[in-house]
Structure 1
Amino acid sequence: MKAAICTKYGTPDVIQIKEVKTPTVQDDQVLIKVHATTVTSGDCVLRNSKMLVMRLLFGLTKPRKDILGSELSGTIEVIGKNITKFKKGDSIIAYTGMKVGAHAEYITLSENAVLTTKPENMTFEESAAIAFGGTTALYFLRKGNIHRGQNVLIFGASGAVGTSAIQLAKYFGATVTAVCSNRNFELVRSLGADHVIDYTQEDFSKKGTRYDLIFDAVGKSSKSSSKQALTLSGKYISVAGGLAKENLDDLLLLKELVEAGKLKSVIDQCYPFEQISQAHTYVEKGHKQGNVVITL
């Protein structure tokens, strides 16, 4: 099979498509033919690994796991003899999180992995792009104890995590202010944002509005500078403050919301698998709207 191999840490050109052995299916696994995956900000962080802590976790000189990619959609082609939850031919979505491995033509996963059938009202491309942003947004919004009636600000509202966070905050019953550039105003309003602020023109912390929860979805603000925009009991949370672990219940909730018409994925660009290094270059610029999808 073909796989996008991260041969070493560095710029996007370290990603090379190579022929590798198709994984062998164990008794408790399924073999999935990948139809679509994504390149996320997390993939770029793993690939360039400029932080020592990342190298300590994933390999000092090169990644221990050389196939990146954390979310995918596809079709089950082979099932192990102990599989009871899925059958051959099922269309699925999956989230591997930090276990990665999605940037390949095939992947094997346990039937107990973060894996479920694909939402019926989504294409493979659309459904490949709900897990990373959705589960990350859920993790941090819950960490901030989001609840109905709150005034919530989302900084970096137009990316993969931010676009999910807007929709999920509305699902939880919050009033949402989205902070992004002016070119993304129409997008964030279409997702449910009640108010918008152009960060290139205004500093949200100096406008006088107080928020019950401020969520930095890109890790580019600071708690100290945001403090004056919080209510007395308000909370500041940031994606820079930890990692969201993959969770099947969260993926099932996202699927339920998608099928109920309460959540959609936002796709900026679709690249063919052969152009995955170009996709890394685009994502690393930091200006994408929603998600960048790779089609196989």
Structure 2
Amino acid sequence: MAPVLRRRFRRPGPPTIDGMKAIVQERYGSSETLRLRDIDRPSPAAGEVLVRVRAAAVNARDWHIMRGDPMLARLAMPSDFGWTGPKRTVRGSDFAGVVEAVGPGVTTYAPGDEVYGDLREDDGAFAEYARVPLGNLARKPAGLTFAQAAAVPLAGTTALAALRDAGKVRPGQHVLVNGASGGVGTFAVQLAKVFGATVTGVCSTRNAELVAELGADHVVDYTREDFTRSGHRYDVLLDLVGNRSLRACRRALAADGRLVIAGGGVSGGGRPSLVGPMSLVIRANAARLRDKRIVPLSNVPPSPQSLATLREHLEAGEITPAVDRTFPLDRAAEAVRYLEIDHARAKVVITL
């Protein structure tokens, strides 16, 4: 299985007595807009639990919201984006931790339970405590550290939906994952193997060994070879990068294959783009009118069912999270910058 790559850094100080420490952002901008501050500790409402966060993963979603990028998303996704700043001031969606308190009517969890989940549009995971709706969490997989568990929800759920639901992967099929060393890609390679497929992973030279260790049967170094011109045909092509045109990707599909589009977000660390990765989704939806083999996957909501399915695979040892680096909460800005600018492989996690 994949190695867990990790560098540890100094932990932040103890929590405040009447509140909590959190990473707060009030306006769009670079990672320099993220500040560690003391804020009020939330209280769980009906149907919610309060989680003492032990780890929170960084996702591309976090820097997209941090920068307000793309500009079009500020109009198209009002639940996440405001016009001059994020709708919610505390960043972070993926988390793992311990239930601290439960809201009225909650009987499925109790204080002390270890959980993991994805806050998504509620955000707030880059903090010592997070208020979590019951529909956004599940019990933490046994045998995983909190850092490993936090790396799973958004990326694992996306990979599961892309292959099982959109790609409909079956045993014996040939699956290609473009972006195999990224957060979603590392799970996609492993899940495709669980589903019985022969897997080709596309990545850079420095990540080829990691992708092979994840279980890929073949590894394509995109700096040396264009998989769309190799002559190979795939039953399912999962594109998490968007660095090849739809026309080129279709060239690599089997006659009855499926091209699942579930990515395309890149950052140069500069000004927000106007459309960004949304252009790929728009073009994919338009192309699907002519070619039903194209399946755009723009948003996969969190669900306890998907988290439970992932937990089963994790506890069975069939998949395992690959963590590149961990950072303490007071270095969250550095963690986001590392993912956005330095092109981290696998997952980056903040520990508390």
Where does the alignment leave 5 or more consecutive residues of structure 1 unmatched? none
Residue 75 of structure 1 aligns with which residue?
98
Residue in structure 1 matching 2:162, options 121, 133, 140: 140
Normalised TM-score (structure 2): 0.81
How many Å apart are 1:98 and its aligned residue?
Answer: 2.8
Residue 343 of structure 2 aligns with which residue?
287
Instruction: Give the direction of change, closer, same or farther, for the CA distance of 1:245–1:29 in structure 2 (3 Å limit).
Output: closer
Q: Confirm whether residue 253 of structure 1 aligns to residue 276 of structure 2.
A: no
1:1-296 correspondence to structure 2 within 5 Å:
1-56=20-75, 57=77, 58-110=81-133, 112-141=134-163, 142-240=165-263, 241=281, 242-285=298-341, 287-296=343-352
How many Å apart are 1:286 and its aligned residue?
Answer: 5.5
Range 93-102 or range 164-173, more displaced: 93-102
Normalised TM-score (structure 1): 0.96
| In 2: Cα distance, 1:222 partner to 1:6 partner | 35
Contact 2:30–2:67 (Cα < 8 Å) also in 1: yes
**What is the SS of the residue equivalent to 1:66?**
coil
| In 2: Cα distance, 1:286 partner to 1:169 partner | 27
Question: What is the root-mean-square deviation in Å for CA atoms of aligned residues?
Answer: 1.3
How many Å apart are 1:195 and its aligned residue?
Answer: 0.2
Instruction: Give the direction of change, closer, same or farther, for the CA distance of 1:28–1:205 in structure 2 (3 Å limit).
Output: closer
| Identical columns (%) | 39
| In 2: Cα distance, 1:131 partner to 1:219 partner | 22
Range 122-131 or range 211-220, more displaced: 211-220
Where does the alignment leave 5 or more consecutive residues of structure 2 unmatched? 1-19, 264-280, 282-297
| In 2: Cα distance, 1:140 partner to 1:47 partner | 25
Aligned-partner residue type, residue 324 of structure 2? D
Deviations 1:87-146 (A, max 9, x none): 111111111123322111101123x22212211110111111111110011122221222
Aligned-partner residue type, residue 115 of structure 2? I
Corresponding residue pairs, total:
295
